[in-house]
Structure 1
């Protein structure tokens, strides 16, 4: 692994040297590949175009990120920004690399969560779009365009993660392949119309199973906080260490979003039926609402309170997109038609 890590660091250094003037672009790409973006950006956009695809995106995002967390706990992947210091291989060699505000994630590095969740969720989108285009045009070339975009996007997200020293190339490749497989498998069974008890059971099952796995590994003498200690030790700036990048934050996000999806379908089975103009308005308002929900400051001490509120925050996300905003838009547009 040392040779693999060394080559990965040298690739990152070369990428930074050649494309440092594109730093802002790499930062935007890595933020678009953030698993959080699947919940806050991709889900609402997809939902107001195709209800089934939107539900599938949220479902796939939650399950793929949960699996990514489990894989990281089991695989103990290093991250370049701390491995460079820990390995001490570059003390006598000239290596110029730079960290960024999104570099210092605290979880283990393998496989890449950005690549894995992006590959899984965007497969839902591009496969649906490709099928739609083929059904309308019967053109293989036109229907293949979304899949070309899919490949280019995965390459861009992977390179952005290498550029900022968050992942090694092999971690990005592993995440992309695993995410693609999950996207294909999970998108075949979309939980539309399932009862609230189903979502409650899945949410609590994922939460408890992860906690039990964590406790079991701790009992075996495995310190699962090792990556947090290394991130704090080698991160260039202390303020770049954020609790919302910790492993338990992704766990509470996934479980909260799934419970929220169940509640939303319970409050309004089948969702609101809206024409295209009200759908566009609902998307705009939902996006603004999710932006402000995401920016809500949460107390970081005690951590149990933070994780509890983080869970509630993502329970709210599907309520805004599926129930509240479309309901209000429907109310006003319906009144306008009656008048």
Structure 2
């Protein structure tokens, strides 16, 4: 793998040399591809256009990110920003590359979580929109547009991850392929409310069991965190929400919240176009405030509990609270439009 990693570093150097002037665009792409964007951005938008699609997006994002965590624990993938320093390959000719704020993720690198979750969750949205356009317009060209935009987004996110030294190219490709398969499989198999709550608990317990089993075998699952702390150029770029257990708590919290919302109101809140748009705006404001909420980093157990509750509230806010408030305070005539 040393030759593959070295070639990946030279690819990253070439990208930075050719496109450093567009670094803001690539940083934006990596933010859009962040797994939490599927929870906080894509989910509410798709939900208020099509409730089944929105639920499928959240379900697919959570399960694909959970699987990504398991894969990373099993595959021990390096990340370029620390491998450059640790490998000893570049003693005589060091690559001319730089780090950025999103570079210093603390989990293992393979496969890329950004590529995997983006490929899975956005496939659900793109395929749903493509089918909708074809059923309304009967135009293959128009219905192909969402798939083209999906492909462009996937390429942009993948290139951005290589550009900022977060991943090697082969990790991005592996994540994109795995995510595409998961999107096609999971998007059409969404469990009901009570099943989702059981699945959330099962994922949490099974992950803890895998973690305990690997630790018992002598596997150090904190090795990547140590390397990130050692080689990240700025300590403030190390974020606790990029630690693997943060992904686990986000996924389990979101699935539990989704199951609760589905259980309490199985069909979702039925809204006309105007109230749906207002609900989207209201939930977007609420999710923005929830995202900006700063959680205490110590003790870590408290952080993970609060992080779990934070994402448990996401589907509650989108599916129950925002539509309920809109239904309560809007005139009856507008509700029927």
TM-score, normalised via structure 1 length:
0.97
The 5-angstrom pairing of residues 164-313 of structure 1 reads 164-191=164-191, 194-196=192-194, 198-313=195-310
Q: Secondary structure at the match of 1:48?
A: helix
Question: What CA RMSD, in Å, does the superposition of the two structures yield over aligned residues?
Answer: 1.1
* 1:156 alignment partner in structure 2: 156
* 2:317 alignment partner in structure 1: 320
- d(CA) in 2 for partners of 1:337, 1:6: 61
- d(CA) in 2 for partners of 1:186, 1:269: 19
TM-score, normalised via structure 2 length:
0.97
Q: Which runs of 5+ in 2 are unaligned?
A: none
Deviation at 1:179, TM superposition (A): 0.1
Q: Secondary structure at the match of 1:200?
A: helix
Deviation at 1:139, TM superposition (A): 1.6
Deviation at 1:154, TM superposition (A): 0.7
C-alpha offsets along residues 298-326 of structure 1, whole Å, 9 cap, x if unaligned?
11111111000100001100010000011
* 2:330 alignment partner in structure 1: 333
- d(CA) in 2 for partners of 1:288, 1:98: 35
- d(CA) in 1 for partners of 2:207, 2:263: 26
Q: Which runs of 5+ in 1 are unaligned?
A: none
Q: Does the CA-based 8 Å contact 1:256-1:312 persist in structure 2?
A: yes
Of stretches 223-232 and 144-153 in structure 1, the one that deviates more from structure 2 is: 144-153
C-alpha offsets along residues 218-272 of structure 1, whole Å, 9 cap, x if unaligned?
1001100000000000000011111000000000000000000011122323121
* 1:60 alignment partner in structure 2: 60
Deviation at 1:335, TM superposition (A): 5.0
Q: Secondary structure at the match of 2:202?
A: helix
Q: Secondary structure at the match of 2:102?
A: coil
After superposition, the Cα gap between the structure-2 partners of 1:157 and 1:212, relative to the gap in structure 1 and judged at 3 Å, is same
Q: Does the CA-based 8 Å contact 1:77-1:108 persist in structure 2?
A: yes
Q: Does the CA-based 8 Å contact 2:72-2:107 persist in structure 1?
A: yes
* 1:34 alignment partner in structure 2: 34
- d(CA) in 1 for partners of 2:74, 2:205: 17
After superposition, the Cα gap between the structure-2 partners of 1:195 and 1:142, relative to the gap in structure 1 and judged at 3 Å, is closer
Deviation at 1:143, TM superposition (A): 1.1
- d(CA) in 1 for partners of 2:272, 2:176: 36
- d(CA) in 2 for partners of 1:225, 1:337: 55
* 2:69 alignment partner in structure 1: 69
Deviation at 1:136, TM superposition (A): 1.6
Count of matched residue pairs: 335
Q: Does the CA-based 8 Å contact 1:272-1:330 persist in structure 2?
A: no
